Amino acid sequence: MTGRRAVEVLPDGDTLAAAAAARIAAAAEAAIRARGVFIVALSGGETPRRTYQRLAEASGTTRLPWSQVQVLWGDERCVPPDHPDSNYRMACDALLDHVAVPAANIHRMRGEDEPAAAASRYEGELRELLRGPAARIDLVLLGLGAEGHTASLFPGGAALHETRRWVMAEYVPVVSGWRVTQTLVLINAAADVLFLVSGARKADIVRRVLEGPAGSGPPAELPAQAVAPARGTVRWLIDRDAGAELGKGSR
């Protein structure tokens, strides 16, 4: 059975962040009610920052029982944790430094380590955390790069085609740097995936990914199209600018 897909277009970046924070809070509440824990994989880049800030606000419906939340990352740049490009640093600045999540619940990809060693260590940590037949990531947050990458699964990269490992390191020529990334093996085993995409510069790639021809298997061209949890939902929250090309057919 292939999973379900839902696309929601919000007026702007702020309403996108509010909707995403509410969706994450709802997923957390359901997971904690069912299993006593919410395992979430954060995405990097810039788009999720406002969502993380909303989650950090103590008010309203997005208040989470942080002691029961396990925080992972979908990918990381191979830089130290205090580097401006670090996805971990962005999440700390916007969220984790402002909420009472126990340090032991924060599972950081060690960007400062040799990349393959960091990937192998992270896989071991996740295999320890996700023991047992029912254990899986409850929610994977993902972004979308202008050329179709998601997490650090880039067009033409080897990590995109991995069928066994959960985490891999890869040199990514288009960003001239090493990345550590979850592979589709782990992402597609998640209960739910939430893409957050904002801004006019993503409009073309959003159309191509959501309305273009879907490849059979993980397409080398559009990695985001290969995100399809067998037993889960892929939900897209996009703002109006990023959704501007939807429904206009292929040119």
If one asks whether residue 145 binds ligand 6PG (CB under 6 A), the answer comes out as yes
If one asks whether residue 87 binds ligand 6PG (CB under 6 A), the answer comes out as yes
CB count in 10 Å sphere of residue 153: 31
Tell me if residue 57 falls in helix, strand or coil: coil
If one asks whether residue 188 binds ligand 6PG (CB under 6 A), the answer comes out as no
The single residue among 20, 27, 38, 47 that binds ligand 6PG, judged by CB under 6 A, is 47
Give the nearer residue to ligand 6PG in terms of CB position, either 63 or 107. Answer: 107
CB of 186 to ligand 6PG, least distance (A): 14
The single residue among 150, 182, 183, 225 that binds ligand 6PG, judged by CB under 6 A, is 150
Run of H or E residues at 175: none
Residue nearest to ligand 6PG (CB): 143
Are the CB atoms for 139 and 24 separated by under 8 Å? yes
Give the nearer residue to ligand 6PG in terms of CB position, either 14 or 46. Answer: 46
If one asks whether residue 45 binds ligand 6PG (CB under 6 A), the answer comes out as yes
Query: Residues 6 or more apart from 27 whose CB is under 8 A from it?
Result: 38, 40, 138, 139, 192, 194
Query: Residues 6 or more apart from 133 whose CB is under 8 A from it?
Result: none
If one asks whether residue 111 binds ligand 6PG (CB under 6 A), the answer comes out as no
CB of 155 to ligand 6PG, least distance (A): 12
Give the nearer residue to ligand 6PG in terms of CB position, either 77 or 191. Answer: 77
Which region among 12-20, 72-80, 108-116, 163-171 touches ligand 6PG (by CB under 6 A)? Answer: 72-80
CB of 95 to ligand 6PG, least distance (A): 15
Give the nearer residue to ligand 6PG in terms of CB position, either 74 or 232. Answer: 74
Residue written as tokens 């782990």?
186
CB of 61 to ligand 6PG, least distance (A): 24
Concatenating the DSSP letter of every residue in 176-217 gives TEEEEEE-HHHHTTSSEEEEEE-SGGGHHHHHHHHHSPPPSS
If one asks whether residue 86 binds ligand 6PG (CB under 6 A), the answer comes out as no
The single residue among 8, 46, 57, 97 that binds ligand 6PG, judged by CB under 6 A, is 46
CB count in 10 Å sphere of residue 228: 17
The single residue among 13, 20, 21, 44 that binds ligand 6PG, judged by CB under 6 A, is 44
Query: Residues 6 or more apart from 196 whose CB is under 8 A from it?
Result: 16, 20, 43, 47, 48, 51, 141, 142, 143, 237, 238
- Distance from C-alpha of 40 to C-alpha of 71, rounded to nearest angstrom: 5
The binding site for ligand 6PG (CB under 6 A) comprises 43-47, 74-75, 77, 87, 143-145, 149-152
